[in-house]
A and B are shown apart, each in its own frame.
Chain A
Amino acid sequence: MIEAQELTKRYGDKLAVDHLSFRVEPGRVTGFLGPNGAGKSTTMRLVLGLDRPAAGTATINGRPYSELAQPLRTVGALLEARAMHPGRSARNHLLFLAQTQGLPSRRVDAVLDLVGLHEVAGKRTRGYSMGMGQRVGIAAAMLGDPSVLLLDEPVNGLDPEGILWVRNLMKQLAAEGRTIFVSSHLMNEMAVTADHLIVIGKGKLIADCSTREFISRSSEKSVLVRSPDADRLADLIAAEGGKAIAQGPSDGQAAALSVTGLEAPRIGEIAAANRIVLHELTPQLASLEEAFLELTAGSVEYGGGETPIAGAPAVASTTTRGSSR
């Protein structure tokens, strides 16, 4: 189990991690989600004792990382793709790590088999592809057969086969009762991998809930309505308690409304009762990626100014899920 309490890290004036508290439970894959620069990697480095926190604590199985006698037997970590000397072979990289933990060299062979790198393990890592480098990192994380794994963007640089492999490995390891904490900036990747989500933005906790809950909470329905008489329809919808936001006309089509708070059949009935012609009436689900973007919209570190995100129309308010594509 990983536990962070009021974890805070400051770089100069900037708070990279801002009083972050969360708990990562064993037996499931916990996704650590946030836009680039949200503080995911910094948080992981704080948990692993690589960075010193300005305030707060992080413990693994109840103890700070720095107090673990043979940490790789308890915790495995994959940080960057390359945390290894380009002139050293993968086998020697894993061997020195094993020696510091008193692990036998057959563990090196075991993890090389696990990641499928036995053939090239004697070669210097300089010539490895990004995916191979990532596999060495995963092998290093698995070296001490740890009960807790922290993986920072593990599918980066992997081909589709590799992505599937990592996904299945994480699920299998979680099923064995281990604690799996995996960061990503891709919501769709987490949706298929993680059982639980911790979402942060600008170093602050945004959400801490199960993936299922996050998806259902995020997928609030909206209805796209297209009508030549959109203005009158918008008033009628508002009178019925719905919320209609003009999407603006688009290439010769009738003006569109994005309606929330009313189901599509009800909108059709209102239109029929008032003899309004509809050109389109489409119930829409916000995609997970859009829900995530919206959730973290206020906390994107390097946003593009006023540019609306997720293809949402400029008139959309923050409560609208603009799903028109």
Chain B
Amino acid sequence: MTSVSPPAPATARPAPSPASRTGFGGVLLGEWTKIRSVRSTPWTLVIFAVVSLGLTGLFTWLTVNSLNNSRSGAADSGIITDPVSFILSTGLGLGSLAICVLGVLVITSEYSSGTIRASLLAVPRRYPVMLAKGLVFAALVIIVGEIVAFCSFFIGAALVNGHEFTRTARVAGHAVTAHGTLHVSLGQPGVLQAVVGSGLYLTVLGLFALAIGALIRHTAGAITAVIGMVLVIFPLAGLLPGSWGAHVHAYLPTVAGQLITQDKPAADQLLSAWQGFGVFCAWTALLLAVGIYLLQKRDA
């Protein structure tokens, strides 16, 4: 027989619960409730998946079908020389912007709505809020990111596999014609790392955006900053002259981080895939640390 206890009157002291039930676990649970209870979370993740998968399919299909077309351009040679990178970079590249937006929103929406004050009143030591937020967000993005990365790969692979191509190039004054059949699979060297790496890259990118959001604290400003860096500033740094320019470019956060999403290293690559990922993680950890330092110091 089960006894049903009557609802506790609001003004009665709650029974003291064991200390083990609280602490960081409670903060994690609270952050999970926060992130799942606003509509921006499912919406941005749906947009991320639709854009990533849709554009991967569309670009791959268009490119594959124009392969033997005489007007074939640079993208065609890309899909021939490295079809895996082609598949993983087109759709996910644009879809990743949705992850940036979500990363910024999970922290800046606390500031714009005033929720941050409730959060810090509940956890006055403050830094556990940021750690828990980062962990919960990272867990969510790594799951969704890996699923979308694998789906992108399988969509792309289905479109390119078995596709025949004829390619004419001039070698030493002679026209050389090459025939081939496109084939990609997870078993090829570097491919599994590139697909898994795409999900990892998205996760760290989201945390990078979260860190920028924690520093700037305003939604529009932080989104502009993140997207400006990822789409404009970091790629433009590739135009820096000389060896030092190449080194600066190679160590920039997303430039280094994207190496792990490629199955074949480029000839002039300064960092290995995992080194690049380490550099990206280090940047993100540094920014998160600065964000936590400011959170401790600033008035909320």
Contact assessment for B10 and A100 in the assembled complex, using a CB-CB cutoff below 8 Å: no
CA distance A82 to B112 in the complex (A): 11
- Which among B12, B14, B113 is the interface contact of A85 at CB below 8 angstroms? B113
CA distance A123 to B123 in the complex (A): 26
Contact assessment for A107 and B14 in the assembled complex, using a CB-CB cutoff below 8 Å: yes
Which of B128-185 touch A at CB < 8 Å? none
Whole-angstrom distance between the Cβ of A123 and the nearest chain B Cβ: 12
Contacts of B37 in A (CB 8 A): 88-89, 92, 95-96
Contact assessment for A84 and B114 in the assembled complex, using a CB-CB cutoff below 8 Å: yes
Residue B268 lies at the interface, judged by CB distance under 8 Å to chain A: no
Contact assessment for A48 and B7 in the assembled complex, using a CB-CB cutoff below 8 Å: no
Contacts A92-B37, A99-B30 given; does A77 touch B121 at CB 8 Å = yes
- Report how many residues on chain B are interfacial, defined by Cβ distance under 8 Å: 41
Residue B31 lies at the interface, judged by CB distance under 8 Å to chain A: yes
CA distance A35 to B276 in the complex (A): 58
Contact assessment for A72 and B299 in the assembled complex, using a CB-CB cutoff below 8 Å: no
Residue A158 lies at the interface, judged by CB distance under 8 Å to chain B: no
Query: Chain B, 15-50, contact with A by CB distance < 8 Å: what is the 0/1 string?
Result: 001010111001101110110011110000000000
Contact assessment for B109 and A85 in the assembled complex, using a CB-CB cutoff below 8 Å: yes
Contact assessment for B117 and A99 in the assembled complex, using a CB-CB cutoff below 8 Å: no
Contact assessment for B26 and A145 in the assembled complex, using a CB-CB cutoff below 8 Å: no
Contacts of A69 in B (CB 8 A): 19, 22
Residue B120 lies at the interface, judged by CB distance under 8 Å to chain A: yes
Residue A131 lies at the interface, judged by CB distance under 8 Å to chain B: no
- Identify 16 new A-B residue pairs, CB closer than 8 A, beyond the known A72-B121, A82-B114: A50-B121, A51-B299, A67-B124, A70-B22, A75-B121, A83-B113, A85-B38, A88-B115, A95-B37, A97-B30, A100-B22, A101-B26, A111-B10, A145-B11, A145-B13, A176-B11
Contacts A85-B38, A85-B109, A113-B10 given; does A100 touch B27 at CB 8 Å = yes
Contact assessment for B117 and A96 in the assembled complex, using a CB-CB cutoff below 8 Å: no
Contacts of B115 in A (CB 8 A): 83-85, 88, 93
- Which among A45, A70, A71, A113 is the interface contact of B7 at CB below 8 angstroms? A113
Give me the 4 closest cross-chain CB pairs, A-B, nearest first: A102-B22, A114-B10, A92-B37, A83-B114
Contacts of A107 in B (CB 8 A): 8, 14
CA distance A142 to B37 in the complex (A): 22
Residue B125 lies at the interface, judged by CB distance under 8 Å to chain A: yes
Query: Chain A, 124-158, contact with B by CB distance < 8 Å: what is the 0/1 string?
Result: 00000000000000001010110000000000000
Contacts of B299 in A (CB 8 A): 45, 50-52
Residue B294 lies at the interface, judged by CB distance under 8 Å to chain A: no
Chain A residues engaging chain B, CB cutoff 8 angstroms: 45, 48-52, 65-73, 75, 77, 79-80, 82-89, 92-93, 95-97, 99-104, 106-107, 109-111, 113-114, 140, 142, 144-145, 172-173, 176
CA distance A317 to B123 in the complex (A): 51
Contact assessment for B118 and A87 in the assembled complex, using a CB-CB cutoff below 8 Å: no
Contacts A89-B37, A100-B30 given; does A84 touch B113 at CB 8 Å = yes
Residue B297 lies at the interface, judged by CB distance under 8 Å to chain A: yes
CA distance A99 to B34 in the complex (A): 11
Closest to A141 in B: B121
Q: Which has the most chain A C-beta neighbours within 10 Å: B12, B19, B38?
A: B38
Residue B122 lies at the interface, judged by CB distance under 8 Å to chain A: yes
Residue B9 lies at the interface, judged by CB distance under 8 Å to chain A: yes
Contacts of B12 in A (CB 8 A): 145
Contact assessment for B10 and A97 in the assembled complex, using a CB-CB cutoff below 8 Å: no
CA distance A85 to B33 in the complex (A): 13
Closest to A112 in B: B10
Contact assessment for B122 and A97 in the assembled complex, using a CB-CB cutoff below 8 Å: yes
Contacts A71-B121, A101-B22 given; does A144 touch B109 at CB 8 Å = no
Whole-angstrom distance between the Cβ of A46 and the nearest chain B Cβ: 9
Contact assessment for B124 and A49 in the assembled complex, using a CB-CB cutoff below 8 Å: yes
Residue B300 lies at the interface, judged by CB distance under 8 Å to chain A: yes
Whole-angstrom distance between the Cβ of A109 and the nearest chain B Cβ: 7
CA distance A50 to B297 in the complex (A): 10
Closest to B27 in A: A100
Closest to B28 in A: A99
Whole-angstrom distance between the Cβ of A148 and the nearest chain B Cβ: 12
Contacts of A51 in B (CB 8 A): 299-300
6 contacting pairs across A/B (C-beta < 8 A):
A70-B22, A79-B117, A83-B117, A96-B31, A97-B122, A106-B8
